[in-house]
Structure 1
Amino acid sequence: MQNGLTSLREVACRYQANEIRPEDLPMIAAEALATGLDTPTLCELAGWPRNADARKIRNAFEQALSESEIELPDPGLARRHALRRLAARLINGEIAPADLATDDWWETEAETAAERSFVALIPQCECCIEYTLGLDQQTWATQLRIAALALTSSPPIGPGC
């Protein structure tokens, strides 16, 4: 059951960082049940369709977390953990450097030097890549990967997600 709790804690963190859509939460609830977690609201949520009302899904998910004694992390901390996952995806080649400009990562409240270095290299939008970098995109991509490596190898932050 510890694996299910650990997984649900990570889901709570990713949910708080807006990485998980409400329509995916019923399936996540079903998967949590399969790992041995069992709360009334988790059982109820697992039976809901993807197209159920998003507010009701969110409320049920948050109630299921409460029943599992899992607290939602602070949104800022959840976002910082998401930033680390993003850096790891970049290093692993799962996303291209230009893909970082598709979200508001540059608004993340970075607290460590490694976070600030990584965030400082993320453009606000795709058009800003060419505007601010010109023809030197290769140097930027290299600097971004170096900053991502520094971030992912830096000490963990706050409670784990």
Structure 2
Amino acid sequence: MRTAGTTPEPESSARSGLTSLGEVACRYQADEISPEDLPMVAAEVLAAGLDTPTLCELAGLPRNADTCDIRDAFEQALSEAGIELPDRGLARRHALRRLAARLINGEIAPADLATDDWWETEAETVEERSFVSLIPQCACCVEYTLGLDQRTWEADLRIAALALTASPPIGPGC
């Protein structure tokens, strides 16, 4: 048992690092983390207790290193840690859930959802489809397609976001 002022047990720290590296892999596949951010992420995962040779190598790369080198090192580090790079479609579906949660928590405005290609996400559940169907393809489409009924759209979007975040998790966790 851990007491105040002590460091976590190595096994617990490694598990924490492994979990965060798995989430990073999912967010990377969903284009939420860019390759130039991966060396710093690797350093954070190392600090959390997960240690593999290529993870150390990745943490030592500069942000402006060759993108291919960073990607190769990241994928090798995942392999060494026993983590599979998730399917892009599944990663985007998990990102969609995170987006819905951010909307509910007030971290983003409804109009900000039109800044990405969410409408192209391969939604598989009713909740995903309901949420995605309410996301305009671009910022100019918000005003054009909604006209004066923006309040109703925002309310419907929040209802769909709540339904999505409350629905059962999909596939392997990210």
TM superposition score normalised by structure 2:
0.91
Report which of the two structures shows the higher radius of gyration computed on alpha carbons.
2
For residues 71-113 of structure 1, the C-alpha deviation after alignment (integer angstroms, 9 at most, x for no partner) is: 0111111000000000000000000000000000000000000
Percent identity of paired positions between Structure 1 and Structure 2: 83
1:11 and 1:80 mapped to 2: Cα distance? 15
Counterpart amino acid of 1:74? D
Gapped regions of structure 2 (runs ≥ 5): 1-13
Provide the C-alpha distance between the structure 1 equivalents of 2:29 and 2:61, rounded to a whole number of angstroms.
Answer: 21
Offset, 1:53: 1.1
Q: Distance in 2 between matches of 1:55 and 1:96?
A: 35
Point out where structure 1 has 5 or more consecutive residues left out of the alignment.
Answer: none
Q: Is residue 138 of structure 1 aligned with residue 138 of structure 2?
A: no
1:76 is aligned to: 89
2:76 & 2:95 partners in 1: Cα distance? 23
- Rounded to whole Å, the distance in 2 between the matches of 1:130 and 1:38 is 50
Paired residues in the alignment total: 161
CA–CA distance in structure 2, aligned partners of residues 23 and 45 of structure 1: 11
Query: Which digits, 9 at most, give the CA deviation of each residue in 1:15-42, with x for residues without a partner?
Result: 0111101111000100111111111110
Is residue 158 of structure 2 the alignment partner of residue 124 of structure 1? no
Render the CA deviation track for 1:123-146: whole Å, top value 9, x for unaligned: 000111111000111110110000
Which runs of structure 2 are paired with 1:77-156 in the superposition (5 Å)? Answer: 77-156=90-169
* Residues in 2 aligned to 1:90 and 1:55: alpha-carbon distance in whole angstroms: 34
List 4+ stretches of structure 1 deviating above 3 A.
Answer: none
Could you tell me which of 23, 29, 42 is aligned with 1:29?
Answer: 42
